Amino acid sequence: MSINKIINVKSCNSEIFIGDEVFNVLKEYIRPYQGSKIFILVDENTLQYCIPELIIQIEYLQNAEIIEINSGEENKSLDICYQIWKTLSDYKADRQSLLINVGGGVISDMGGFIASTFKRGIDFINVPTTLLSQIDASVGGKVGVDFEGLKNMIGCFNEPKGVFIYPNFLKTLNKRQMLSGYAEALKHGLIKDKKYWLELKKGMLSDSKNWLKLITTSIHIKNKIVLADPKEKNERKLLNFGHTIGHALETYSLNNDELLFHGEAVAIGLICESYISTKIMGLSTTELKEISTTILNQYSTYKFEESDFHQLIELMKKDKKNKKQAINFTLISEIGKAHIDKKVTVEIILDALNYYNLVAKKENSSN
């Protein structure tokens, strides 16, 4: 077994493995569970595109119980958790059982939450299969589900035993989903690493040779922040850049015709929150322009009306990251340097939403 080709990153109570040969390690990792029941959580796409490869590589997983749910953010819900807890119970899962989450962020967020709560907690492992989950959602131990139309309202912190990232799984992911993940990478560059931002700006998606570097750089940035502050008391809030407005837009879109993926909403959030950063943190307008142009060049523009702004503000007020009603932001003073706990007035947030509409319109008319 050539371990050299596997990148190993230590997290708090977990380990992350990245590379084409990670299943050699996974095979050993799950050996202790062979005497008990192993469950694999999938959706219809990961069942089709990822499970065959996994079973070729680890034959005895043929005996695992596969639990399939329908894909989509709308299924990251307590109703679906109920069904999965029931299945685990029907199949007599016990404290020694293992749940392997094979999928995107929906599967790892919900599967992690199910495992953390079933019989007060069983072990789980993440095998992330989307770019977003490979560079972000599968690590850091935030698990949970949406509730009453609000993102990630029910959940807890609990780390997987291990995370196994196999970049080749991205080959079946469509461009829109790849771009959704790319937004989190852009965020990582913007908050911590200008050099990485500049590389991303040039484009790292189209050539699969870049994927390993992309995944590894993002994982290192996220993991370092998580290690410093696992429960999000301080530094971990850096990772929320783009997400106060992003989450509001994502929730808003879930109740409207044109659905935004998580990373697409974050990409718009990055533009708006960079605009706010020019007003409050002294981010230069040159860097704001660089950020807006980079994002607008790659992502389709999204149409939301001025008449919906108040609804977005109400959603931001319900964000669980707020304290005492003030809307809380992470902002940047320059590319690569971020600051937490910045209070922003509704007026400036409205200006930021207007700014996005304006630059998006310009982008559309120039196409």
Residue closest to ligand NAD, measured at CB: 105
Are 179 and 204 a contacting pair, CB within 8 Å?
no
- Residue 140 or 242 with smaller CB distance to ligand NAD: 140
- Residue 102 or 352 with smaller CB distance to ligand NAD: 102
- Number of H-type helices and E-type strands within the chain: 14, 11
Compute the least distance from the CB of residue 202 to ligand NAD, in Å: 23
Are 144 and 113 a contacting pair, CB within 8 Å?
yes
Question: H or E element: which one contains 22?
Answer: helix 22-29
- Residue 279 or 318 with smaller CB distance to ligand NAD: 318
- Residue 36 or 45 with smaller CB distance to ligand NAD: 45
Token digits for 292? 């807006």
Q: Are strands 38-43 and 98-103 parallel, antiparallel or unpaired?
A: parallel
Tokens 């702004």 locate to 309
Burial (CB count within 10 angstroms: exposed 0-12, middle 13-18, buried 19+), residue 285: exposed
Any idea what the Cα angle at residue 257 is, between residues 319 and 106, rounded to 5°?
55
Compute the least distance from the CB of residue 106 to ligand NAD, in Å: 3
- Residue 192 or 262 with smaller CB distance to ligand NAD: 262
Q: Are strands 162-165 and 150-157 parallel, antiparallel or unpaired?
A: unpaired
- Residue 30 or 173 with smaller CB distance to ligand NAD: 173
Compute the least distance from the CB of residue 137 to ligand NAD, in Å: 3
**Could you list the residues that contact ligand NAD (CB under 6 A)?**
43, 45-46, 49-50, 71, 73, 76, 103-107, 109, 129-130, 132-133, 136-137, 140, 142, 151-152, 169, 172-173, 177, 180, 261-262
Nearest to 255 by CA among 71, 70, 44, 73: 73
- Residue 6 or 41 with smaller CB distance to ligand NAD: 41
Tokens 């109703």 locate to 79
The number of residues making up the chain comes to 367
Task: Please enumerate, as own/partner, the contacts of 219-223 that have beta carbons within 8 Å and a separation of 24 or more.
Answer: 219/9, 219/16, 219/18, 219/134, 219/135, 219/139, 219/165, 220/9, 221/188, 221/191, 221/192, 221/193, 221/196, 222/135, 222/136, 222/139, 222/140, 222/188, 223/9, 223/11, 223/16, 223/139, 223/140
- Residue 260 or 349 with smaller CB distance to ligand NAD: 260
Compute the least distance from the CB of residue 214 to ligand NAD, in Å: 15
Compute the least distance from the CB of residue 48 to ligand NAD, in Å: 8
